[in-house]
Amino acid sequence: MDKIIFFSSVLGLAETFPIRPAKEVVPKWAYVARQDYIKNKDKKEMHVYKCPGIFDTFGTGYIISAWHDLELETDGLKFRMTIPDNKLNELLEKETVQEQTWNAAITKFIPKPPWAVKSILKINTPWHVIAPKGVKFLMVPLPYPDEFSFQSCIGILDPGVSSELNVQGYWNNNSPGIHTIKAGTPLAQIIPITEKTYDFIVRDMNDQDKKWIEKRKYLNFFGFILNRSKIKEAYERMIK
């Protein structure tokens, strides 16, 4: 296998709000900076537009976006969340949005920005990623974004253990009222941990993908403790 494949278990998402190359989701300020550089390049001064550490980041990896609208209200500790229709939960076969409560074992030890809501927001998506053997992904917050309300957590995704693309993150906007994350809003960047360049495919789920999802349901739940080696063996047989 020599491609990275992103497939959605919800039909229609791949053509509505697809996974996109990061180079297609550059923040607005970067375009303003580019125009300023062009206008003033004769001044021969250092300019942020020529900083490879920043601008090369914009062209690396892929962007995961919100796949439906989401309304949030918070008291600084927890959330009240509203989605457009519960049909979305049925399509995903689980809740599309979950709250990792501030005092739960999975959350309470993780350092959080002092200005963020104490609970962590988990956005489950229909996306799965299948990659060549050994390729993992680094999930990071959007680099140098125009807006900071949602900030994804950092982690490494090994498709051989879990092919699901779900985004957990901090909510930094404590102001009162209802806040909306619109469908298509960029949420996180994932970067392949490899120096090799791969073509990538974004599509709806096919029959082979469906079989993999069904197999994962058993592999994830047959034991009291997740058996990563069994999942990885099944994944590597699939991608041969």
Name the pLDDT band for 226 (thresholds 50, 70, 90). confident
pLDDT at 95 over 90: yes
CB 170 within 8 A of CB 116: yes
DSSP letter for each residue of 135-178: -EEEEEPPSS-S--SEEEPPEEE-TTT--B--EEEEE----SS-
Residues 108-154: pLDDT tens digits? 899 999 999 999 999 999 999 999 999 999 999 999 999 999 999 99
Supply the pTM of this predicted model: 0.92
Q: Has residue 43 got a pLDDT over 80? A: no
More confident residue, 103 or 179: 179
| DSSP alpha helix (H) spans, 71-144 | 87-92
For 212, the token pair is: 């993999």
- Which helix (H) or strand (E) segment holds residue 129: the answer is strand 127-130
Task: For residues 14 and 194, give the distance between their C-alpha atoms in angstroms, rounded to a whole number.
Answer: 25
Confidence of residue 102 (pLDDT cuts 50, 70, 90): confident
pLDDT digits (tens, 9 = 90+) for 181-202: 999 999 999 999 998 989 999 9
